Amino acid sequence: MTNNGLENIKYKEIDGYYVIPIETGYIKPNGSLNPIIEPATKLMRDGDYLVIAETPISVSQGRLVDEAKYKPGLKAKFLAVIWSKYIWGYILGPLLKIKKRTIKNLRKLPKETSAHKEVVLQLYGWKHALKPASEAGIDLSNAPGTSVSLLPENPEEVAKSLKKKINKDVTVMIIDTDATYMKNGHYFTGLPIAIDGIEANKGVIGYVKGQLSENMGSTPLGCSRKISVEEGLKIANIAEEYQKSLDTAMPTIHSVKSVLNVDGGVVTVEDLDSITHTPAVILRKK
Domain boundaries, the chain: 67-146
Report the pLDDT value the prediction gives residue 255, as an integer from 0 to 100. 63
The answer to whether the beta carbons of residues 237 and 220 sit under 8 Å apart is no
Rounded distance between C-alpha atoms, residue 146 and residue 76, angstroms: 17
Helices 34-43 and 155-166, axial angle in degrees (round to 10): 50
**Spatial distance between the Cα atoms of 74 and 120, rounded to a whole number of angstroms:** 14
What is the per-residue pLDDT for 251?
A: 62
Q: What does the pLDDT read at residue 248?
A: 73
Per-residue pLDDT at 1 exceeds 60: no
**Rounded mean pLDDT, 98-121:** 93
How far apart are the C-alpha atoms of 151 and 146, rounded to whole Å? 17
Supply the DSSP symbol for 224.
S
| Average pLDDT of the segment spanning 174-193 | 97
**pTM higher than the cut 0.85:** yes
- What's the pLDDT at 132? 95
Tell me what percent of the residues of the chain surpass a pLDDT of 90: 81
| pLDDT for position 269 | 85
How far apart are the C-alpha atoms of 252 and 260, rounded to whole Å? 12
Contact 175, 52 (CB under 8 A): yes
φ, ψ (nearest 5 deg) of residue 152: -60, 150
How many Cβ atoms sit within 10 Å of the Cβ of residue 241?
Answer: 15
Q: Give per-residue pLDDT as tens, 52-109.
A: 999 999 999 999 999 999 999 999 999 999 999 999 999 999 999 998 999 999 999 9
